Amino acid sequence: MKITKIEVLKVKTARPTWRPVYCRIYTDEGIYGDGEAALAYGRAADAGFAAVKEFASLVIGMDPLKNEVIWDKLYKTTFWGQNGGPVIFAAIGAIDMALWDIKGKYFNVPVHALLGGARRDKLRSYASQLQNGWENNKEDYVFQYTPEDFADAARKAVAEGYDAVKFDFFEKKPDRGAFDTEDRRCFVLPKDLHMMEDRLAAVREAVGPEVDIIAEAHSRMDAPGAIRYAKILEKYDVMFFEEPDTPTPYMTKYIADQVNIPLASGERVYGRWQFVPYFEDRSLQVIQPDLGNCGGFTEVKKICDMAHAYDVAVQAHICASPLSTTAAIHLESVIPNFVIHEHHIVNRITYNMGLTTVDEQPVNGYLAVPNAPGLGNEISEQAYKQADTFAVVE
């Protein structure tokens, strides 16, 4: 079996800053596979599209079942591959995801069977980024401002069966403005710390002691502010503190040594080599690699296995289209150190719906593990119609 053609598309949605990037790999045996470069948000979708297109030209004619051979070729022969960042690893990841989809279809088994076999048929999930609301089928986020707003969003998620929720308590100001970079630098002001605690306290009171709360910082704080904030989080039995500052091993270790709360990071850490220092210094208790920008199944499974040797838990990062959600479910169903699945609010927004043939949504806070061959999910015709940038590599 040989790779004959690869289609690359960047999809335009109703939100200008939400631009999913996909690839579809075709073979001479009529089997195709789909993958996603998980750079839909932020400012890298155009670069991701270009990287997938360029990398695709290197695998035409190769055997799609040789995922390890292809992975090493993309990493070692592209010059910028080694120690690459999100764009490089997203391009590799999209191609790799599609290869595993092909492999599953070829052997007529789900991807999780090829990864070692599912050890669970459903995944505990948390409602993610509730500072943006927890509404269904909305056109965009519904921002929360007051402590009662935060409490109400948490109640909505718990009413649906979730027993874990995640908030960034430091994203929007009470007067409806947005905090800027300077607001979060160095020693966070006492008034802002009090504001965050008021919001957190309201959520804890609303959900009670049996619901886990995860605190997110999006790497926007500096270490002194993150430490002061973490001291507050400790009082409310927060499950873990995510991305307290810019992901670097030495500063993460510094923060970890000052606080008594598990730290999580990984959506901006790329490849097994970048994860090693965090394992060796024990600064992270939860890693969050993203299949769509950390090298795909071939790479992320290795990272998860490495983490297991250090008793580090895994929660795959997912803020992309439903194709990435399905891919993460396959991985998380297999690994022994899975802790919880992230179900981002973006999965409930209309502009991210209909882009794939399956839209995974938790029931009573749990996601079912699919058993169709391959990923069990594909790029939809709607996504192809919405593509504003398209390329065919042969």
pLDDT at 223: 96
Q: Tell whether 202 and 102 lie within a shared domain.
A: no
CA-to-CA distance for 394 and 392, rounded, in angstroms?
6
Q: Tell whether 172 and 37 lie within a shared domain.
A: no
Q: Tell whether 306 and 263 lie within a shared domain.
A: yes
Q: What is the dihedral of CA 136, 137, 140, 143, to 10 degrees?
A: -20
Is 352 within a domain?
yes
pLDDT at 124: 98
C-beta neighbour count of 44 within 10 angstroms = 20
Quote the tokens at residue 101: 């989809």
- CATH number of residue 51's parent domain: 3.30.390.10
Is 374 within a domain?
no
Say whether 218 is catalytic.
yes
pLDDT at 356: 98
Segments in the chain below pLDDT 70: none
Q: Tell whether 298 and 387 lie within a shared domain.
A: no
Is 151 within a domain?
yes
Please tell me the total count of domains within the chain. 2
Measured between alpha carbons, how far is residue 290 from residues 94, 294, 326 in Å? Answer: 11, 6, 12
Q: Tell whether 79 and 150 lie within a shared domain.
A: no
Quote the tokens at residue 229: 């904030």
Quote the tokens at residue 230: 């973490």
Is 135 within a domain?
yes
Q: Tell whether 22 and 51 lie within a shared domain.
A: yes
Q: Tell whether 119 and 61 lie within a shared domain.
A: no
- What single DSSP character describes residue 136? S
pLDDT at 335: 98
Q: Tell whether 16 and 160 lie within a shared domain.
A: no
Q: Tell whether 54 and 127 lie within a shared domain.
A: no
Q: Tell whether 119 and 95 lie within a shared domain.
A: no
- CATH number of residue 142's parent domain: 3.20.20.120
CA 316, 321, 326: angle at the middle one, nearest 5? 55
- What single DSSP character describes residue 349? B
Mean pLDDT taken over the chain: 97
pLDDT at 177: 87
pLDDT at 279: 98
Per-residue pLDDT tens for 337-349?
999 999 999 999 9
Say whether 330 is catalytic.
no
CA-to-CA distance for 97 and 292, rounded, in angstroms?
8
CA-to-CA distance for 261 and 231, rounded, in angstroms?
8
Domain that holds residue 37: 3-109+379-393
Helix (H, G, I), strand (E, B) or coil at 219: coil
CA-nearest of 189, 296, 306 to 316 is: 296
Per-residue pLDDT tens for 305-337?
999 999 999 999 999 999 999 999 999 999 999
- One of 112, 194, 308, 317 is an active-site residue; which one? 317
